[in-house]
Amino acid sequence: MVFRSDYPDVAPLDLPIHDAVLGGSAAHADTPALIDGITGRSVSYAELDAGSRRIAAGLAEAGVRPGDVVALFSPNTVAYPAAFYGATRAGATVTTVSSLSTAAELTGQLRDSGARWIITIAAFLPVATAAAGALDGTPVAEIFVCDSAEGHRSLTDLLASTAPEPAPAIDPGTDIAVLPYSSGTTGLPKGVMLTHRSVSTNLAQITAVHTTAPGERILAVLPFFHIYGLTALLNQPLRCGSTVVVLPRFDLEQFLNAIQEHRIESVFIAPPIALALAKHPLVDRYDLSSVRNVLSAAAPLDAELAAACARRLGLPHLLQGYGMTELSPVTHVVPKDDPAPPPGAVGRMIASTELRIVSLDDPGTDLGVGEAGELLFRGPQVMKGYFGRPGETDAMIDADGWLHTGDVGRVDERGYLYVVDRVKELIKYKGYQVAPAELEALLLTHPQISDAAVVGEVGADGEERPKAYVVRAFGCDLAEQEVIEFVARQVAPYKKVRAVEFLDAVPKSASGKILRRELRARAARPV
């Protein structure tokens, strides 16, 4: 059977993302759009809108053309949105880059996306310049900085441009607004082509279920480079005229202080933050009474932990949401107005969305209410595809437009979704996606490693983390810490291998595929 949303359909929003988000800025001209949660610096809606237009003019004057790809490599700052919307106004596609990326990882994304321009911050210039210098083929044309650095033009320089604002012909249905990188259900990171229409329409779809009010204060601590942060902490609240208080990263004391000082009303988190809010003694030292809503997404949140967090904050319950980068990203959200959502549910389906649940044993068989199977979605938020990977796109989206998530879930009688399992190959560490294939490929470059496999191991705290199974090369006496340090030197912190076990051989099928199920079962055995 096909499950359909109970909410009225919304018409596709055929607007460039900057118009979908900032088109109503005049109505909130003097309202703070952004506040730096540390310095208190404020940017009004009028300033953000005008600034993004001048940055677009400066980028166009520098040579950025419609269809170019601009890599935005920065932590959360109040300058990030102006850079993002400025680039899209110039007709460019923005590929958002993890602020934790190493030079090698950035080089890979630059090469794969074809990015010719980088916007970063002064502190990240060593990584950005090293990454650009390692490219073969088409070089990076210029590296801009959001703040200031000798020898590089800044956003302030772009704002000073007197060139006319560009007016590129953007086709919202086909032109790519943002190119975030995702591992999908498995494998190496791939560029997810999200059109202006898919991202803009997803905002309209969300509005019926979960929205913020004009002037409502939202705390932005989740990274903007992640599609969850980009949607929930920038696009949606700015579209609604809310005020986004920006923090560069999660530090519990800084986080709590920002809630108290700025009287934050809505907080968007990932499960590790829920754990801290539920259990850390520091929480009791701050006045968090202004908080009215907390929504968790990006990874599964245990129902008991959610309840403990809600009790600590004096809330009736925590909200949850579900989606994935390939879905622009939202399909389900717990409605704000439901006084008693079922524990553990990730929400109800948003407008104009369809869901099928298919049998894991017989993918041609659709399942009904209460039955668990793979989740398949269809709707205007489905990605255009993986950049430069038509084969992998076809494997993800079938001929009828259904996107196969690889996640396993069920729907109850009220239409609430429960995600009961997920693709086994992909590891989610503190909300970040970690692709085993990427770590395995890196491990195999070590001269003393003859074979390797990586799976997720769940610790006593319930957190999944990467564990490597390694086969030493003949005659070598490689130690666990050497393997851990070898990986740590070459990847972002969240991708680090946290444990190593040595094997005589990695279990594989006759076709050569790693038998991860055997390794996961081994990891789950009590020590």
pLDDT by residue (tens digit) across 498-508?
A: 999 999 998 87
> Using CA atoms, how far apart are residues 424 and 107, in angstroms rounded to an integer?
28
Is the pLDDT at 352 greater than 90, yes or no? yes
The whole-number pLDDT of residue 510 equals: 47
Banded pLDDT at 472 (limits 50, 70, 90): very high
Banded pLDDT at 40 (limits 50, 70, 90): very high
Is the pLDDT at 153 greater than 60, yes or no? yes
Is the pLDDT at 65 greater than 60, yes or no? yes
What share of residues in the chain are helix, strand, coil (percent, to 5)? Answer: 30, 25, 45
The whole-number pLDDT of residue 509 equals: 57
> Residues 362-380: pLDDT tens digits?
889 999 999 988 999 999 9
CB 35 within 8 Å of CB 41:
yes
The residue-averaged pLDDT of 220-234 equals 95
| Cβ neighbour number for residue 14 with a 10 Å cutoff | 16
Helix ranges (H only) for 461-512 are 480-488
Which fold does the domain 427-524 belong to in CATH?
A: GMP Synthetase; Chain A, domain 3 (3.30.300)
- CA dist 261 to 59, 277, 282, 489, Å? 36, 17, 16, 38
What is the SS3 assignment for 360?
A: coil
Is the pLDDT at 184 greater than 80, yes or no? no
> Using CA atoms, how far apart are residues 463 and 459, in angstroms rounded to an integer?
6
The residue-averaged pLDDT of 410-418 equals 97
Banded pLDDT at 236 (limits 50, 70, 90): very high
> Using CA atoms, how far apart are residues 280 and 247, in angstroms rounded to an integer?
20
The residue-averaged pLDDT of 338-352 equals 96
| Cβ neighbour number for residue 242 with a 10 Å cutoff | 23
Name the range with the highest mean pLDDT among 54-58, 277-281, 334-338. 54-58
Among positive and negative, which fits the CA dihedral 305, 100, 154, 59? Answer: negative
Is the pLDDT at 522 greater than 90, yes or no? no
Banded pLDDT at 444 (limits 50, 70, 90): confident
> Using CA atoms, how far apart are residues 276 and 161, in angstroms rounded to an integer?
45
What's CA 467's distance to the chain center, in Å? 23
Is the pLDDT at 186 greater than 60, yes or no? no
The whole-number pLDDT of residue 215 equals: 96
Banded pLDDT at 513 (limits 50, 70, 90): low
Is the pLDDT at 76 greater than 50, yes or no? yes
* Mean pLDDT over each residue of the chain, to the nearest integer: 93
The whole-number pLDDT of residue 451 equals: 87
Predicted TM-score of the model (pTM) = 0.86
Is the pLDDT at 422 greater than 70, yes or no? no
The whole-number pLDDT of residue 298 equals: 83
Lowest mean pLDDT among 99-113, 392-406, 421-435, 456-470: 421-435
The whole-number pLDDT of residue 511 equals: 43
CB 134 within 8 Å of CB 103:
yes
> Residues 7-28: pLDDT tens digits?
999 999 999 999 999 999 999 9
